[in-house]
Structure 1
Amino acid sequence: MSDVTIKQLAKVLGTPIDKLLTQLAEAGMKFSDPEQVISSTEKVKLLGFLRRTHGKQEAPVETTSAPRQITLKRRTVSEITVVPGQRGATAKTVNVEVRQKRTYVKRSVVEEEAQAQVDPEREDAIRKLGESQLKREAEEHTRAEAERRRQEEDAKLRAAEEARRAAAEEEKRKTEEEAKPAAEPKVEVAAKDGAAAPAREAERARPERAREAPGAPAPDSAHRHKPKHGSHRMRDEGASEEAPRYFGAELHLSTEGAARRTGRKRPKTRHVEQARSGPAHAFSRPTAPVVREIAVGESITVADLAQKLAIKGADVVKALFKMGVMVTINQAIDHDTAVLVAEELGHKVVAAEDTSAETTLLAQQAEGELASRPPVVTIMGHVDHGKTSLLDYIRRTKVASGEAGGITQHIGAYHVDTPKGVITFLDTPGHAAFSSMRARGAQSTDIVVLVVAADDGVMPQTVEAIQHARAAKVPLIVAMNKMDKPEANPDTVKQGLVQHEVVPEEWGGDVQFVPVSAKTGDGVDNLLEAISVQAEVMDLKAVPDGRASGAVIESSLDKGRGPVATVLVQQGLLKKGDFLVCGVEYGRVRALFDESGNQVESAGPSIPVQVLGLSGVPQAGDDFVVVADERLAKDVASQRMHKRRETRLVKQAGNRMEDIMAQMGQGEGQLSLNIVVKADVQGSAEALREALTAITTDAIKVNVIASGVGGITESDATLAAASKAVIIGFNVRADASARRIIESSGLDLRYFSIIYDVIDQVKQVATGLLGMEVREEIIGVAQVRDVFRSSKFGAIAGCMVIEGTVKRHKPIRVLRDNTVIFQGELESLRRFKENVDEVRNGTECGIGVKQYNDVKPGDQIECFERIEVARTL
């Protein structure tokens, strides 16, 4: 017997599944699911158990070690001589090998198989199968008998109908014969006009109800008192009036339509023009306007709206123009505008039901029991107030030293095991350009720790952080940093924050103020205690299992790993292999990494991880959710993309007449500066785009035509050449094909690593303050061929200078896949065993990078210098 499932075995045996599972459990076999497969050995074991239970003897087990069957193989080799057909050819001898195989089975085995065939349980199963087949045949016979009786009844009804029709025809014929002498003269007169045949046809086609009415007068009996010379006119008019209203059960046809369908010609009388002037169909023009009720989603094109309203698209465009909205028939309008124009045209609009994949996605969200989770704490405050240094002390790492310019330009997400438990920290930048990143951090957090320098006081970004915390409705804890400095004054900090309604507890408020020092570590334990107390008061809980959901903290494009998204899990458990939707992107989780770069298998609530496997780089701040399969993920992502595209089209199409009239007087003397921005992460690109767009004045307009993540590619250079734009690379570099286009087109390409420099230079150009400009000029590039280890200097990179000259006392950057991974200075520059000051193009050298030992073959070491250049128009 082949392996079958427990469900199939129970169906064959005619036994309930629960009873079969109980018998299997009593026999010592563990089965819990009806879909589990039971093997032949397990079935034999169950059979033996049932035999023992019912008092039957089991088949004797052979104790001898003799085989149940023997297979004999025989091989014979013979030779045959092949005589060729051509002359002069020699005969060939071919070896022929014949193999035979025979199997001999013991007689006892054959008897066991014969006994197994007459197994009573198998006979019982066969008997039940036969009974089921007999029952099915009886049902089929009953169904066929009922069908036969129904057909006989239909035949009887049809015969009765035919008899009734024949009787009606006979009665009609007799009535016509009785009325023939009286109607004969009128038929002759009508025949002169060629109307006798149609009249008889109309008489035959009269409805049966009129023909069967007893004592019904003849068609011309009502006109016998009329004069003879007018009889033919009255005959013709009577025929037209009494013409049938339907032919072949088509009630909607008029007389002319019926005559045209049946192929009969109408009689040509003197009133033919009057007959032609009648209606050609039975439909009548509506006397009142038709009010339609249509369903409209968030947006709809003008053409689709016109189709739903059953009017011309030009009429909808005309109505929109009267309302002051200038659109074409192919442009999209929002729901409110569609409601207004539909009501203006006399129709009603209702909101369309959402039957999209988003509804399916929401229906599949798993719910479970809530459990305590770690708190998510966001460090916010003004730039250079010690946010990253404080977090660095808590994590016992060096993070601030690796940031460009000493400032944080990305959202860092870390979870730390403290004596008070696990706490997740989000480190946000403090520069004014990173307002949206701070807002994202406040929306994804439970507690906001506001870091204020005790020697500096309340600053603009401090006030902005307070506003973000209030907008997100999260509690606030103030950490007064730099208390180790002699000029520190905590009272000044408290007085400045009280002006913004942040009142300390000792002054009667509800905000905890903790004095700390990120340099010495004083007060850090008190800060962690305050965070733990606040988290206990909030009683933070989440579903630890089920499908995960959360938010994207940061995203970037890695050339080796593809799109990388740093996400914060808020609900459920994110595992490797899950399908997830992240904004308009989707994919399967190929790998998960923690903040230290270690690969993990899963991440629970309040734990930040890096996700690999998405179809593209998601927007920072987008939500992510795990779905059941890839098809649903793809559908949700495509619908979100379509909805985002429609929203963008609606914004572009929202050209109102007053806006266009207001813009007509502008733009004559206004200059435009086009910029293409490429950054290493999504948050930096977003911050640069917003900061540069805000520089726009009446004299000059800063237009960011494109922004993205990753190195500068050929398409970016082509776009900049077509629009005459300046290319800004923020911690990224241009590849070889992009550099060729930039050099051939003479484009302005500028590299930056600090956001201050980007904003300051663009602002100087925009406002006309030229002055002196600090530029970074690359003087040489060396490619790492191999890495050697030295006991004195650590990692020594064996390099080949491929561009320019590498100088010893100049700052350098280490590039990997056109992305900056380290910035510092050279520790040693050697040519063979001698220290040298510079190495020119095409020369090999050994380079030791100071305080950096992670140089790998294939990296590029870029040597540059900062120069001041007088700005000219």
Structure 2
Amino acid sequence: MTDQSDKPKLGTRPPLGLKRTVETGKVKQSFSHGRSNTVVVEVKKRRILGKPGEAPPPAPEPVVEAPAPAPAAPAPKPAAPKRSAADDVTARKEMQARLLREAEEARMAALEEARRREDRSKLAQTEDEKRRAEENRKAEEEAARRAEEEAAAAVAQASEPEVVPSEQAAPEPEEAREVRRPANAPAHAPKRPDAHRPSHGRVREERRHSGKLTVSRALSGDEGNRARSLAALKRAREKEKRAHQTAGPSAKQYRDVDVPEAITVQELAKRMGERGADLVKALFKMGTPVTITETIDQDTAELLIEEFGHRINRVSESDVDIDTDTDVDAPETLQARPPVVTIMGHVDHGKTSLLDAIRGADVQSGEAGGITQHIGAYQVQLKDKSKVTFLDTPGHEAFTEMRARGANVTDIVVLVVAADDGLKPQTIEAINHTKAAGVPMIVAINKIDKPEAKPQKVREELLQHEIIVEQMGGDVQDVEVSAKEKTNLEGLIDAINLQAEILELKANPDRTAEATVIEAKLDKGRGPLATVLVQRGTLKVGDVIVVGAASGKVRAMIDDHGRQVKVAGPSAPVEVLGLSSVPHAGDRLTVVENEARAREVATYRQGVLDKKRTTAAPVSLENMFANRASTTIEFPLVVKADVQGSAEAIVNALNKISTDEIRVRVLHSGVGAITESDVTLAASTGAPIIGFNVRPNANARTAAERNKVEFRYYDVIYHLTDWVKGAMAGELGPEIIENVVGRAKVQEVFPAGKRDKAAGLLVLEGNIRKGLHARLTREDVIVSKTTISSLRRFKDDVKEVVAGLECGVLLADTNDIKAGDMLEVFEVEERARTL
């Protein structure tokens, strides 16, 4: 057993004096099997403060104990016990570590405050706030620097070798020394010089707790060297952040709000920078209960904007759209650009072959049936390093609209006419398109290598359409070429260059780009693609664009050789990737400043298209009944093509097939592969799906097998229209033709058997044969349609009775026969229907 005579009893309260409030002692712990352990414990004791002037009760003898972090001031004693040199070194090390930690904490607090001030200064908008923030930052840095210098001086002073009493090993705060000074102690007692202490409350709290002696601290001497934990720093920062947030609300921003004629509450809240619920609440107070998705007019929006202190800017819906007509480039900014040449003519007159000869590439072999199905855009570099852009338009009549688009974006038209074939319907169409567009024309008389070629006949035929070539005394250039033999191609190029010089084609390349969509399609791996022809400006990768009702960002551009390019100048044809949807051929491409503006314009244009599509003409009562009485049969179809232009051409060709008896109803026409949704749409009406240069995906094939949907694949438009004509004729069925054989009058009716009646007839014209169809009329009103089941003359069965004779007949399935009725006998002929 350890001697515990010097240990104070637990629970006793020592008198007020200069004693420590924490005492230590040893306690023995007993365990099982006779084991025991002696540990050092601390006992906190209440401190009782006496009244002023009252003498403190006599204090017991002090207990010899280990050095405590926060000892009381030394009481007047005869002499203090001497300490060893090791104790002095330990005390000085603890003091140095504590002072260094306090200096580091002060520096961290100062730097943290400086960082917070810098963050607040970034949010300030005026120069005065920035200047004040800079001054505060410098002051904080100076304060931190002074704190570090004073801490270093204190450390240097504390490291001097001097004997420090045990009770003064850890300095106490000034307030504690004032409270613990005895009443009879002299007021002028000398004070030990203290190091600089920061006034931060958290630091004082850490110092007060750091004076406690624990078992772990007694066993490990590096406790004082440990820096402040990251969790403590994080808590301090969060506390400062909360204090800063509750300092006061930030200044409200007032905006100029653009308001169209109609706007939803949600969109108005977004433009005002307010909460949508606040706008709904304000409208409810005004007596207009609406939801956040409802549309309000301009006047109501103005009341809301003024209620929240903003300013309204009234705009019309048309102001949202981009008006490029008023944007005219200055003459000094214009530079020469390559000409855009469109090749037109009749099908199979050699347009694509001529372009192949100029380009040195074989494009025609890639087209189905040897005819061009799309508009191809190519740029050719000539021997003199100049460039010419060619547009190859289809010659088939189904692609009339595509040719019209080609004529509207071109500078020069090359009309290809076969020398052995002369002018054809599509050639005349191309002449009319060129005249309507006001574009100069060059006539290329092709196939002059054939023996039956007659170039002079072609020139004479052109006179009928007011096209007078130079050899006939006119102003239209004509060139005799052979695409197959590559004859006189230089003459055609010279004619194009000459015409381009006369036109003086110029554009401004140093501006945002504007272009026209030549063709558009949906690619399976790359998404919507648009082949565009830049008309002015320079299109760059990364530009935000609006194309019709589609918006997007140029992710990549591919030229006619399949190479990726970064920029595309005027007259350059490129394929653009990055659109949100497939645009229509002929749409305008415009570069805008940001994506928000692009979405706004695209949304407005889509709304205009939806309004046009859903708005129907008013239907009168007469028209409604006429439409209801109509017996026109509808032939539903779903059309999917590889490019937008082909889909439009197919739909136009199918609409021309329609007749008064049956008409084509295109349920859906689109671009890209046949999908499961297309099959679902076709299955609901039993419509076949026509795929033009496209195929169905796996899900679509599975759904088609399940729903019994028919797929029809084509790559030439002739075959497609022929099949549709045949299918529509089959839908109508064979054509029924009635040929009247004879007419007779009922003279008398008499019974024949138990139920039937026989009629005695006088044949008036033609003849009557057994088994023919008959129509019984009474006063020119049809009573019944029947057949002649029995024909007799007197009592003999006969096959035929001619005009002027009498006979008796038995009509099938009718007994409504009266004397005076007329009987018309006719034959029925079925013919295959054609459209």
* Aligned residue number for residue 462 of structure 1: 427
1:672 maps onto 2:634 in alignment:
yes
Q: Does 1:689 align with 2:654?
A: no
Task: Give 1 or 2 for the bigger CA radius of gyration.
Answer: 2
CA distances 1:209-263 after superposition (whole Å, capped 9, x unpaired)? xxxxxxxxxxxxxxxxxxxxxxxxxxxxxxxxxxxxxxxxxxxxxxxxxxxxxxx
Q: Does 1:406 align with 2:370?
A: yes
1:589 aligned partner: 554
1:493 is matched with which residue?
458
Q: Who is 2:722 aligned against?
A: 760
Task: Quote the offset at 1:9 in angstroms.
Answer: 13
Q: Residue 715 of structure 1: which of 665, 668, 677 is its match?
A: 677
**For the Cα contact (< 8 Å) 2:329–2:508, is it kept in 1?**
no
Matched-pair contact (CA < 8 Å) for 1:82–1:94: no
CA distance in 1, matches of 2:414, 2:670: 31
Q: Any residues of structure 2 matched to 1:352-431 within 5 Å, and which?
A: 356-358=319-321, 369-419=333-383, 421-431=386-396
After superposition, the Cα gap between the structure-2 partners of 1:358 and 1:756, relative to the gap in structure 1 and judged at 3 Å, is same
Q: Which of 474, 481, 488 lines up with 2:439 in the alignment?
A: 474
SS of residue paired to 2:657: coil
Shift of residue 663 of structure 1? 3.3
Q: Distance in 2 between matches of 1:487 and 1:512?
A: 23
* 1:769 to 1:734, Cα distance in 2 relative to 1, 3 A: closer
1:95 Cα deviation after fit:
8.8
Is 1:676–1:716's contact at 8 Å kept on the other side of the alignment?
yes
Report the 3-state secondary structure (helix = DSSP H, G, I; strand = E; otherwise coil) of the residue aligned with 2:338. Answer: coil
Checking the alignment, whether the CA contact within 8 Å between 2:322 and 2:601 is kept in structure 1 is no
CA distance in 2, matches of 1:659, 1:499: 44
Contact residue 364 and residue 627 of structure 1 kept, 8 A = no
- TM-score w.r.t. the length of structure 1 is 0.48
Distance in 2, Cα, partners of 1:100 & 1:707: 73
Deviation of 1:560 (Å): 1.1
Counterpart-to-counterpart distance in 1, 2:470 and 2:570: 31
Report how far residue 363 of structure 1 moved. 7.6
Correspondence list, 1:16-415, <5 A: 98=225, 356-358=319-321, 369-415=333-379
User: Which residue, 703, 709, 714 being the options, matches 1:741?
Assistant: 703
Return 5+ residue gaps in structure 1 as ranges. Answer: 15-68, 73-80, 85-90, 102-295, 299-351, 772-869
Tell me which residue corresponds to 1:865: none
Q: From the superposition, tell whether residues 98 and 497 of structure 1 become closer, same or farther in structure 2 (CA, over 3 Å).
A: same
Partner of 1:136: none
Q: How many residues align?
A: 453
Whole-angstrom CA distance in 2 between matches of 1:361 and 1:657: 44
Q: Note the alpha carbon deviations across 1:263-305, whole angstroms, 9 max, x for none.
A: xxxxxxxxxxxxxxxxxxxxxxxxxxxxxxxxx999xxxxxxx
How far the C-alpha of 1:93 sits from its partner, in A, is: 9.2
Deviation at 1:660, TM superposition (A): 3.7
Deviations 1:127-174 (A, max 9, x none): xxxxxxxxxxxxxxxxxxxxxxxxxxxxxxxxxxxxxxxxxxxxxxxx
- In structure 2, C-alpha distance between the alignment counterparts of 1:95 and 1:10, rounded to whole Å: 49
The SS at the match of 1:663 is helix
**Cα distance in 2 for residues equivalent to 1:767 and 1:639:** 43
- SS at 1:526's partner residue? helix
Cα distance change of structure 1 residues 10 and 431 upon mapping to structure 2, 3 Å threshold: same
CA contact (8 A) 1:365 1:547 kept: no
Quick one: which amino acid aligns to residue 509 of structure 1? Answer: G
1:590 shift after superposition: 0.6
The amino acid of 1:745's aligned partner reads: N
Amino acid at match of 1:703: R
Q: Distance in 2 between matches of 1:742 and 1:92?
A: 83
Code of the residue aligned with 1:411 in structure 2: it is I
Q: Which digits, 9 at most, give the CA deviation of each residue in 1:446-498, with x for residues without a partner?
A: 11111111111111110111111111110111101111111111012112221
Specify whether residues 355 and 407 from structure 1 end up closer, same or farther in structure 2 by C-alpha distance, changes over 3 A only.
closer
Q: Deviations over 1:492-522 (max 9, x none)?
A: 2112221111111121222111100111111
Between the aligned residues of both structures, percent identity stands at 53
1:407 is aligned with what amino acid? I
- In structure 2, distance between residues paired with 1:489 and 1:402: 30
Answering whether residue 583 of structure 2 is matched by residue 618 of structure 1, we say yes
1:405–1:13 CA distance, 2 compared to 1 (3 A): closer
Give the conservation status (yes or no) of the 8 Å contact 1:395–1:416. Answer: yes
Inter-partner Cα distance in structure 2 for 1:100 and 1:722: 76
Q: Which amino acid aligns with 1:388?
A: T
- Classify 1:97/1:565 alpha carbon distance in 2 versus 1 (closer, same or farther; 3 Å): farther
Aligned-partner Cα distance in 1 for 2:443–2:583 = 33
Question: Alpha-carbon deviations, 1:756-797, whole Å to 9, x = none?
Answer: 1101111233345999xxxxxxxxxxxxxxxxxxxxxxxxxx
Return the offset for 1:737: 1.4
Cα 1:423–1:297 change in 2 (3 A) is farther
Q: CA deviation at 1:415?
A: 0.8
Provide the rounded CA distance (Å) in 2 between the counterparts of 1:485 and 1:440.
Answer: 33
In structure 2, the residue matched to 1:517 is 482
CA contact (8 A) 1:548 1:573 kept: yes
User: Which residue does 1:560 correspond to in 2?
Assistant: 525
Whether the 8 Å CA contact 1:578–1:626 is kept in 2: the answer is yes
Superposition TM-score, scaled by structure 2 size: 0.50
Q: Is the 8 Å Cα contact of residues 338 and 505 (structure 2) preserved in structure 1?
A: yes
Return structure 1 stretches of 4+ with deviation > 4 angstroms.
Answer: 1-5, 8-14, 81-84, 91-101, 352-355, 359-368, 656-659, 767-771
Cα 1:630–1:697 shift into 2, 3 Å? same
Unmatched tracts of structure 2, length 5 or more: 1-113, 132-151, 156-212, 229-259, 263-314, 734-831
Letter in 1 for 2:411: D
Opposite residue 762 of structure 1, the aligned amino acid is V
Q: CA–CA distance in 2 between the matches of 1:502 and 1:646?
A: 43
Residues 725-750 of structure 1, C-alpha deviation per residue, up to 9 Å, x if partnerless?
11011111111211122111111111
Q: Check 1:95–1:690 CA distance in 2 against 1; reply closer, same or farther (3 A cut).
A: farther
Cross-structure match for 2:757 = none
